[in-house]
Amino acid sequence: MTTLEGSPAVRRLTAWEPTRLESLAGEYGTPLYVLDLDRVRENARRLESAFPDAEILYAVKANALKDVLETLHGEGVGLECASAGELTRALAVTDSGAEVHYTAVNPPARDLDIAVEAWEAHPELTITAGAEDTIDRLEERGYDGRLCLRVNPGIGAGHHEKVQTGANAKFGVPAERAVDVLADAADRGFDVVGIHAHVGSGVSSDQLDAHREFVSRMGELARSVTAAVGDLEFLDIGGGFGVPYREDEQPLDLEAVADATREAVGEVDVQLTIEPGRYFVADAGVLLTTVNTVKDARETTLVGVDAGMTTLLRPAMYDAYHPIRNLTADSSDTERSREETAQTIAGPICESGDVFCTDRKLPESERGDLLAIGNAGAYGYEMANQYNSRPRPASVVIDDGVARLARRRETIDDVTSVERER
CA angle 44, 383, 168 (to 5 degrees): 80
Q: Are strands 32-36 and 285-296 parallel, antiparallel or unpaired?
A: antiparallel
Query: How far apart (Å, rounded) are the C-alpha atoms in residues 38 and 45?
Result: 11
Active site residues: 350
| Residues in the chain, total | 422
* 39 marked as binding residue: no
- Write out the DSSP string of 65-82: -HHHHHHHHHTT-EEEES
379 is in an annotated binding site: yes
Long-range interactions of 166-171: CB distance < 8 A, separation 24+: 166/197, 166/198, 166/199, 166/200, 166/214, 170/105, 170/106, 171/105, 171/130, 171/198
User: Rounded to whole angstroms, how far apart are CA atoms 301 and 309?
Assistant: 19
Q: How far apart are CA 253 and CA 241, in angstroms?
A: 10
Annotated binding-site residue? 277: yes
Is 278 annotated as contributing to ligand binding? yes
Are residues 127 and 147 in contact, defined by beta-carbon separation less than 8 angstroms?
yes
Nearest CA-CA partner of 195 in 164, 156, 162, 229: 229
Is 351 known as a binding-site position?
A: yes
DSSP state string for 194-238: EEE----SSB-GGGHHHHHHHHHHHHHHHHHHHHHT---SEEE--
The CA R_g of the chain, rounded to the nearest whole Å, is 23
Q: Answer yes or no: is 348 a known binding residue.
A: no
323 in a known ligand binding site: no
Is 321 known to sit in a ligand binding site? no
| Rounded distance between C-alpha atoms, residue 384 and residue 392, angstroms | 7
**E strands within 251-368?**
271-274, 285-296, 301-305, 324-326, 340-346, 355-363
SS3 239: coil
As annotated, the binding site includes 240, 275-278, 314, 318, 351, 379
As annotated, the binding site for substrate includes 278, 314, 318, 351, 379
As annotated, the binding site for pyridoxal 5'-phosphate includes 240, 275-278, 379
